[in-house]
Amino acid sequence: MKAVPVDARRYAWCHGHGLWIMGLPVATFIEDMYGALAADQHGIVRVATREIGEACAVTLTIMLFFERPIPPPAMRASWALNRLDGHELADLCRELVRSDTRTSSSELVAKCERLLEQVQTLVGRVPDVLSPEGYFPALAAARGWLKLLEAVGEEDFLPRDWTAGG
């Protein structure tokens, strides 16, 4: 049996936040990426692959190295890429975060697909919340992590305005 190398609170926080980062935002950018590729909108492909590269880098950083807290959005890519330095996926994350204009859109999409597959192999698959067959499994996964976070006394990963009031 393999033990988790950190306490339950940090493990739950990191995995819950990783699930949130890889869930809806990445699913949305994947949809944008394929739509933009089909419509020859290369700028949108670059934006989407950049966002996916950053999300993968941040998710890997928090779920594999149990890094927290997550810095503000403007600093996340550099923070995550710095911590991933030397990891087998660091260069691929870095390439996508750059989304160099010399790289064709189809190459960026292929790299993005490869990175997503490898990240999901390492940290687990997140059901596609935007698809009919993935919607309820994604909600169930989020609910499970939210319950675990509550059980260990950690703050949840939902945006504050979703949980305030009411």
Q: Which of 72-76, 79-83, 100-104 is modeled with the greatest confidence? A: 79-83
- From 21, 19, 24, select the one nearest 53 (Cα to Cα): 21
Rg (Cα) of the chain, in Å, rounded?
A: 16
Helix ranges (DSSP H) in the chain: 8-22, 24-38, 42-64, 73-84, 90-98, 105-123, 132-152, 160-163
Neighbours of 93 (CB within 10 A): 27
The CA-to-CA distance between both ends of the chain, in Å, stands at: 43
Mean pLDDT along residues 93-98? 95
pLDDT at 166 over 60: no
Task: Select from 31, 60, 59 the least CA-distant residue to 45.
Answer: 31
Confidence band for 65, pLDDT divided at 50, 70 and 90: very high
Average pLDDT rounded to a whole number, residues 34-50:
96
Task: Give the global pTM.
Answer: 0.86
φ, ψ for residue 82 (rounded to 5)?
Answer: -65, -45
Q: Is residue 46 scored above 70 in pLDDT? A: yes
Helices 42-64 and 8-22, axial angle in degrees (round to 10):
170
Between CA 94 and CA 103 the distance in angstroms is 13
Write the single-letter amino acid at 127.
P
pLDDT for res 1:
57
Backbone φ and ψ for 101, nearest 5 degrees, come out as -70, -15
User: Which of 75-84, 113-122, 146-155, 157-166 is least confident?
Assistant: 157-166
Residue 92: its pLDDT value, please? 96
